[in-house]
């Protein structure tokens, strides 16, 4: 519903609420012969009565147009804040409407009588005061109540997209209006008939009227109570808690045998079932979590034992081969020495493999502690370490300044160590090696890179690059275990980043990554 | 009198290699070997099979493996460092594990040093040589009780 449509319907209804009772009331007064046609014409041609009705209409138009501004604002800009304001406005509307309407009801008959008294020859009797006010009451209920309900429905349409966490105009309110006003209307009509017939206001007629009114009010209260009782489970449901999970089925007992009673019972069953499912689910999650924790512990124990137990025999293999070479050198020929050094070489390779695998599993297990990391200084540190080990290399290093990222420092150091280590290793056969470390902007994201002019690789095998134990060069050409890039990728994935490469055989490789 | 070294090591290969490495570095101090946690504690506190040993004659340094039968290395370390009679003895954890948890626990319990045994025997000899030089020659041991 658009704001303009809403305003149009709403203003039309307000004008109807103010003009129809006036016209209908005056015609009815004539019909039941409280006023004659001449008297009515006289009253309507006085300066006061038309002015009175017109001024009231202008006032009501101005007042309510201003009043519904939060709703029209919400319809133009439907956001949460405007929605909340619109709901408050809708909630307070019955109060404002009936307050102004009742003042109108009290002043309108008075104005008719006063206009008649001052500007026409008709002189109202004291009983006419009561009769005319009663007519105003009947008319206003007959006309005002339906118009009021049409307005509530109009609000309901405008509220179709609102976030209703609790009721703003309750069914209880609506029932109360009908339950209180309709019996009042019927009684008043009976009294009106009685008075029209007897023609005067006496103590007897007053008592009859009073008894009827008391009965009507008592009856309407009973009527409202019955409805309220039926509705109470529904009312509890929407007012108790907006959170479905916090609802307790114990609070929803059917209080009637009608549709709402059945609905309450069904709702209660559904709620019980839901809670049961939820508990089952929680149990299941608990169970699975425990299972996962157990598996994780097992994995940790496994890594620990790999770290400790697999290395111990290797040390013995290496150590005793060495002892053999030293202590029994004279009993071994060249081939024997060669075999022993092969045994030592293999055991050391296996030790490296074990270390790399352990690092890979550690990377997956350890918790991420993100902080601001200066990749430029990390890169310099890694380069310095390599320079210490291999001092005679001719390498041109270029590290851009201010390469900053947010990451776990220990883990990102492993990434840089692997990437720079690779660049260092694969440029080993170049006369002049070049390694550059820098940053590019791609789609507003920082993409870091490590570029070398080394051996490169065939892009055809790109998909094997990050697999565990996958190598694109033979161990003879370049040493390595094939775990470094897998580790780097796993670290970057854990940070929500990614890594990819670009390379040309014998011209170099560039590894790009985001964190 | 030459000070002794207490080597707590359950693996006979590692025991032999460690002793060989010490010899290669010309560290000729007497090496007492304990093959599990109980033996190590018995020796240090002169209990069980070592009952009657002179308690004032304690080793200059204890080389302690972490993975030991019966009583594990961390527990041995804890008992050494919580007992008034032995808490000043330097303990070097010499192990295969480089799990962070082991490192942290060892230092928390008062280990004086933590060395991971390299697989490469040449490096192992170097490491043992350096720790022997440091703990037996350079480092001044606390005065014995």
* pLDDT(A198) > 70: no
Do both A373 and A343 map to the same domain? no
Confidence band (pLDDT; 50, 70, 90) for B82? Answer: very high
Residue A25: CB atoms within 10 A of its CB come to 23
Question: Cβ separation of B97 and A348 shorter than 8 Å?
Answer: no
Distances (CA, A) of A156 to A11, A71, A144: 16, 11, 18
Say if strands A445-452 and A508-514 run parallel, antiparallel, or are unpaired. antiparallel
Yes or no: say if A69 and A93 are a contact pair by the CB < 8 Å rule: no
Question: Rg of the Cα trace of chain B?
Answer: 14
Residue A471 backbone phi and psi in degrees, to 5: -130, 145
pLDDT > 70 in chain A, percent: 95
pLDDT in tens, A223-236: 888 888 888 877 77
- Residue A329: its pLDDT value, please? 85
Write the pLDDT tens digit of every residue in A153-187: 888 888 777 777 667 777 777 887 777 777 777 77
**Contact between chains at A315 and B121 (C-beta distance less than 8 A):** yes
Segments making up each domain of chain B, as ranges: 5-138
Span A451-501, pLDDT tens digits? 999 888 888 888 888 887 777 787 777 877 788 888 899 899 988 899 999
What is the pLDDT averaged over residues A320-327?
Answer: 89
Chain A residues within 8 A of B121 when measuring between CB atoms? 315, 318-319, 321-323, 344
Query: Is the CB of residue A375 less than 8 Å from the CB of residue A405?
Result: yes
* A316 contacts in chain B (CB < 8 Å): 11, 13-14, 17
Which residue of A314, A315, A389 to mutate against B (max B Cβ within 10 Å)? A315
Please give the structure tokens belonging to residue A63.
């007042």
Give yes or no for residue A266 having a pLDDT over 50.
yes
- B145 pLDDT higher than 50: no
**To which H or E segment does residue A436 belong?**
strand A433-442
pLDDT in tens, B20-41: 989 888 888 889 999 888 889 9
Q: Are residues A340 and A442 in the same domain?
A: no
Q: Helix, strand or coil for residue A401?
A: coil
**What value does the mean pLDDT of chain A take?**
84
Q: B42 to each of B8, B39, B48, B76, B78, how far by Cα in Å?
A: 12, 5, 6, 11, 14
End-to-end Cα distance, chain A? 47
A314 at B interface, C-beta within 8 A: yes
The SS3 of residue A340 is helix
Domain span including residue A8: 3-243
Q: How confident is the model at residue B79 (pLDDT cuts 50, 70, 90)?
A: very high
* Chain A residues touching residue B97 (CB < 8 angstroms): 304, 307-308
Asked if A311 reaches chain B (Cβ–Cβ under 8 Å), the answer is yes
Name, in order, each residue with C-beta under 8 angstroms of A345's C-beta and a sequence gap of 6 or more.
Answer: none
Same domain, A464 and A508: yes
The pLDDT of residue A244:
64
The better pLDDT of the pair A120, A111 is held by A111
Helices A145-158 and A171-198 sit at what angle, rounded to 10 degrees?
A: 160
- The stretch A413-441 carries a mean pLDDT of 90
Pick from A312, A338, A365: which residue ends a domain? A365
Express the helix, strand and coil content of chain B in percent, nearest 5 each. 40, 15, 45
**Greatest CA separation found in chain A?**
151
In A, minimum Cα distance to B65 occurs at: A308
Are both A231 and A290 inside the same structural domain? no
Distance between CA A244 and CA A271 in Å, rounded?
A: 9
One domain for residues A383 and A338: no
Same domain, A218 and A104: yes
Lowest mean pLDDT among A398-407, B13-22, B47-56, B86-95: B47-56
What chain B residue is nearest to A361 in terms of C-alpha separation? B99
Same domain? For A175 and A291 the reply is: no
How large is the average pLDDT for residues B67-73? Answer: 85
What is the spatial distance between Cα A83 and Cα A155, in angstroms, rounded to a whole number? 12
Say which CATH number the domain at A447 has.
Answer: 3.30.565.10
Residues A69 and A182 reside in one and the same domain: yes
- For the cut 70, the answer to whether the pLDDT of residue A119 exceeds it is yes
Q: Choose the final residue of a domain: A365, A383, A414.
A: A365
Q: What is the pLDDT of residue A200?
A: 59
**Termini Cα distance of chain B:** 16
Shared-domain flag, residues A288 and A326: yes
Compute the nearest-CA separation of B125 from chain A (Å). 9
CA distance A315 to chain B (A): 4
Average pLDDT over residues B58-73: 88
Q: What angle do CA A206, A212, A217 make, to 5 degrees?
A: 125
Residue where one domain finishes, among candidates A193, A215, A243: A243
- Nearest Cα of chain B lies from the Cα of A311 at a distance, in angstroms, of 7
Q: How many domains does chain A have?
A: 3
B96:A311 CB<8 A: yes
User: Which pLDDT score is estimated for A310?
Assistant: 82
Chain B residue nearest residue A306, CA to CA: B97
Which chain A residues are Cβ-neighbours of B96 within 8 angstroms? 307-309, 311-312, 315
Q: Counting runs of H as helices and runs of E as strands, what totals does chain B give?
A: 5, 5
The confidence score (pLDDT) of residue A239 equals: 72
Clarify whether residues A33 and A96 are in a common domain.
Answer: yes
Please tell me whether residue A211 adopts helix, strand or coil conformation. helix
Model confidence at A376, pLDDT cuts 50, 70, 90, reads: very high
Q: What is the mean pLDDT of residues A393-398?
A: 88
Q: Which residues of B touch A349 (CB under 8 A)?
A: none
The predicted pLDDT at position A374 comes to 92
Nearest CA in chain B to A316: B13
CB under 8 A, 24+ apart: contacts of A250-259: A255/A229, A255/A230, A256/A229, A256/A230, A258/A230
The C-alpha atoms of residue B65 and residue B59 are separated, in whole angstroms, by 16
- Closest CB to A312 among B11, B121, B124: B11
- Among the partner-chain residues A304, A318, A358, the one whose CB lies closest to the CB of B120 is A318
SS3 A391: coil
Q: Please judge whether A314 and B119 are an interchain contact, meaning their C-beta atoms are less than 8 angstroms apart.
A: yes
Instruction: Provide the percentage of residues in chain A whose pLDDT is more than 90.
Output: 14
**What pLDDT sits at residue A379?**
92
Domain shared by A24 and A168, yes or no: yes
Taking the domain B5-138, which CATH number applies? 3.40.50.2300
B2 vs A340, residue with greater confidence: A340
Whether A36 and A11 map to the same domain: the answer is: yes
């Amino acid at each position: 519903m658009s704001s303009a449509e809403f305003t149009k319907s709403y203003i039309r209804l307000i004008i109807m609420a103010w003009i129809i009772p006036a016209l209908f009331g005056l015609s009815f007064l004539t019909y039941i012969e409280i006023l004659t046609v001449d008297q009515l014409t006289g009253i309507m041609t006085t300066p006061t009565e038309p002015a009175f009705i017109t001024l009231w209409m202008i006032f009501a138009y101005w007042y309510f147009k201003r009043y519904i501004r939060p709703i029209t604002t919400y319809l133009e800009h439907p956001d949460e804040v405007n929605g909340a304001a619109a709901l408050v406005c809708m909630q307070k509307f019955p109060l404002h409407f009936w307050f102004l309407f009742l003042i109108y009801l009290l002043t309108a008959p008075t104005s008719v009588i006063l206009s008649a008294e001052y500007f026409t020859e008709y002189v109202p009797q004291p009983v006419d005061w009561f009769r005319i006010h009663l007519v105003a009451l009947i008319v206003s209920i007959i006309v005002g109540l339906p118009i009021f309900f049409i307005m509530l429905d109009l609000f309901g349409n405008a509220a179709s997209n609102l976030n209703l966490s609790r009721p703003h105009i309750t069914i209880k309110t609506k029932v109360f209006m009908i339950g209180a006003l309709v019996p009042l209307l019927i009684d008043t009509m009976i009294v009106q008939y009685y008075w029209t017939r007897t023609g005067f206001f006496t103590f007897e007629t007053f008592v009859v009227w009073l008894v009827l009114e008391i009965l009507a009010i008592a009856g309407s209260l009973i009527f409202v109570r019955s409805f309220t009782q039926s509705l109470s489970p529904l009312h509890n449901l929407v007012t108790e808690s907006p959170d479905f999970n916090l609802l307790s089925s114990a609070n929803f007992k059917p209080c009637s045998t009608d549709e709402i009673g059945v609905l309450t019972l069904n709702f209660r069953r559904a709620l019980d079932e839901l809670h049961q499912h939820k508990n089952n689910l929680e149990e299941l999650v608990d169970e699975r979590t425990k299972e996962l924790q157990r598996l994780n512990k097992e994995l940790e124990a496994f890594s620990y034992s790999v770290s400790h137990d697999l290395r111990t025999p290797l040390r013995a293999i290496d150590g005793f081969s060495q002892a053999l070479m030293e202590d029994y050198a004279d009993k071994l020929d060249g081939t024997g020495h060669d075999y022993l050094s092969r045994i030592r070489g293999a055991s050391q390779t296996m030790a490296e493999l074990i270390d790399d695998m352990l690092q890979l599993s550690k990377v997956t297990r350890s918790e991420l502690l993100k902080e601001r990391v200066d990749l430029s200084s990390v890169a310099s540190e890694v380069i310095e370490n390599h320079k210490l080990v291999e001092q005679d290399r001719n390498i041109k290093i270029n590290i851009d300044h201010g390469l900053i990222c947010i990451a776990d420092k220990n883990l990102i150091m492993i990434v840089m160590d692997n990437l720079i280590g690779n660049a260092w290793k694969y440029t080993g056969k170049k006369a002049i090696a070049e390694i550059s470390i820098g940053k590019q902007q791609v789609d507003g994201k920082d993409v870091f890179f490590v570029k070398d002019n080394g051996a490169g690789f065939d892009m055809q095998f790109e998909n094997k690059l990050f697999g565990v134990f996958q190598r694109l060069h033979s161990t003879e050409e370049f040493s390595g275990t094939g775990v470094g890039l897998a580790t780097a990728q796993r670290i970057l994935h854990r940070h929500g980043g990614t890594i990819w490469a670009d390379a040309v055989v014998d011209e170099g490789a560039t590894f790009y990554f985001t964190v | 009198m030459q000070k002794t070294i207490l080597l707590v090591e359950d693996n006979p290969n590692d025991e032999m290699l460690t002793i060989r490495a010490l010899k290669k570095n010309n560290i000729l101090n007497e090496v007492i070997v304990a093959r599990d946690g109980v033996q190590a504690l018995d020796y240090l506190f002169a209990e069980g099979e070592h009952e009657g040993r002179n308690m004032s004659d304690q080793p200059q340094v204890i080389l302690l493996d972490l993975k030991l039968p019966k009583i594990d290395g961390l527990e041995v370390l804890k008992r050494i460092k919580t007992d008034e009679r032995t808490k000043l003895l330097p303990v070097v954890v010499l192990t295969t594990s480089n799990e962070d948890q082991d490192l942290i626990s060892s230092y928390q319990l008062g280990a004086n040093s933590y060395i991971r045994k390299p697989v490469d025997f040449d490096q192992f000899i170097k490491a043992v040589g350096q720790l022997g030089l440091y703990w037996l020659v350079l480092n001044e041991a606390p005065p014995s009780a």
